[in-house]
Structure 1
């Protein structure tokens, strides 16, 4: 089994979740990544998933700060809801953001708060058979004030939680902006990474339009025997259908023998 490529919601501007699932099927991708599940009619989407035979593989947790200990109960309540939504949709992972840096509270204290909260969440994910992923994001371009930016801190947090059900979502675009050194860091922290996102820089565009060498990155993931999800979380500057087919031909088919590509 090799890595599985997914489409992220928003790839087709103005189109709904059903349209995206149909495109996942048409392009023979592994599934759809969705964000604000609370905006969905879950029962209706579940019927679409069964009809189209493509599932939502990843969703986001509610956007409640992980670094503010006064919001711990709210965060955990949101996680319980999100787990139930994930089970309904067939998702295997839930991505959480960390919230913004708190003024007047030391960084160490905020990291410890995250660890303590994630330790409470870990048994919930173990019971559900799901993975919770923390995601570092860049503050220079897209998320000013966001707490977790660097892969080394994400790794330290996950190590301290010490559960296979709490891992990292490593976004190559964000990490290029925040720290560079992409392949080395992906290798260094690989044992705690559950999921990758890809987009080019600058502009968070589709691979091949910027400075990130995704041929070498994907080859490195093959060498690491990565078998998880790789999400196309990018802005398609050109026609989305044509761009996805170009990505498949210029990247996937050049790196993997056709018979080894997981649809």
Structure 2
């Protein structure tokens, strides 16, 4: 069964506890909260236990993997994030790569990324966690981001060669960058640990743009994927109503 998570900000102005309660109310399976440093970890852990759902993914503290001079900062931030995740029962840690360094060879930047990710893999293996590397589109939202293409990301992950470093496949970003969504989202299944979904254009809830999420989610399900699919999107209507419509028009025809 596919598992779905909401992302913090789905209910603008509401706190993490309210978001967890909404996850439970709508029958979803987890919450993504990106900046764990904002949280009272003890209070959130108590709320998770009471409500019965928890934070399934968060971000690490530093996002620059291409600059070798930033490697130690990245690793120290990852170590802190792992300790926070232990307290929350969170097993997925998200990172991006940083922007291209225009004065440095691309090969050097990629090698620096691979080396830091190998060291990250060792840290994650000790704790049973997965570091998820996320490509971002450079056309609309993240101009200059180093990692943008699926095949580029898979090549790097394959060179790291660890089950503790995987791909976060964001359908919205990859639609903008390269299209060919179903083929890439399924062909790279063994490297993907987590999906993000939003429609395009607009980055709003599925069903508001050009992407056929009924077919996309069916294709992902057919691969046997059993990880999380996060609704990292805005909402064009009131959030509760949008989530009900998402379930009625898409999810009920996938499950």
* TM-score normalized with structure 2 length: 0.98
1:197-239 deviations in Å (ceiling 9; x for gaps): 0000001010001000101101101211111100011001111
Cα displacement (A) at 1:188: 2.0
Q: How far, CA to CA, are the matches of 1:38 and 1:141 in structure 2?
A: 28
What's 2:188 paired with?
189
What's 2:160 paired with?
161
Cα displacement (A) at 1:191: 0.9
Q: How far, CA to CA, are the matches of 1:31 and 1:186 in structure 2?
A: 21
Structure scoring higher RCO (CA < 8 A, sep ≥ 6) equals 1
- Is it true that 1:65 corresponds to 2:55 in the alignment? no
For the 8 Å contact 1:32–1:55, the answer to whether it is kept is yes
For the 8 Å contact 1:133–1:167, the answer to whether it is kept is yes
For the 8 Å contact 1:65–1:98, the answer to whether it is kept is yes
Q: How far, CA to CA, are the matches of 1:135 and 1:104 in structure 2?
A: 23
1:98-149 deviations in Å (ceiling 9; x for gaps): 1111111111111111000010111111111111000000111111121111
What's 1:93 paired with?
92
Cα displacement (A) at 1:252: 1.2
Runs of 4+ in 1 over 4 A off after TM superposition: none
For the 8 Å contact 1:63–1:99, the answer to whether it is kept is no
For the 8 Å contact 2:62–2:73, the answer to whether it is kept is no
- Is it true that 1:81 corresponds to 2:73 in the alignment? no
1:234-253 deviations in Å (ceiling 9; x for gaps): 00111100111111111111
Map 1:130-209; keep pairs closer than 5 Å: 130-209=129-208
For the 8 Å contact 2:35–2:58, the answer to whether it is kept is yes
For the 8 Å contact 2:157–2:165, the answer to whether it is kept is yes
1:172-192 deviations in Å (ceiling 9; x for gaps): 000001110001111221110
Cα displacement (A) at 1:3: 1.4
* TM-score normalized with structure 1 length: 0.95
Q: How far, CA to CA, are the matches of 1:185 and 1:192 in structure 2?
A: 11
Task: Specify every segment of 5 or more residues in structure 1 that has no aligned partner in the other structure, as ranges.
Answer: 257-263
For the 8 Å contact 1:64–1:74, the answer to whether it is kept is no
Q: How far, CA to CA, are the matches of 2:150 and 2:142 in structure 1?
A: 16
Cα displacement (A) at 1:63: 2.9
Q: How far, CA to CA, are the matches of 1:219 and 1:51 in structure 2?
A: 33
What's 2:27 paired with?
28
- Equivalent pairs counted in the alignment come to 255
Aligned-partner SS, 1:173: helix
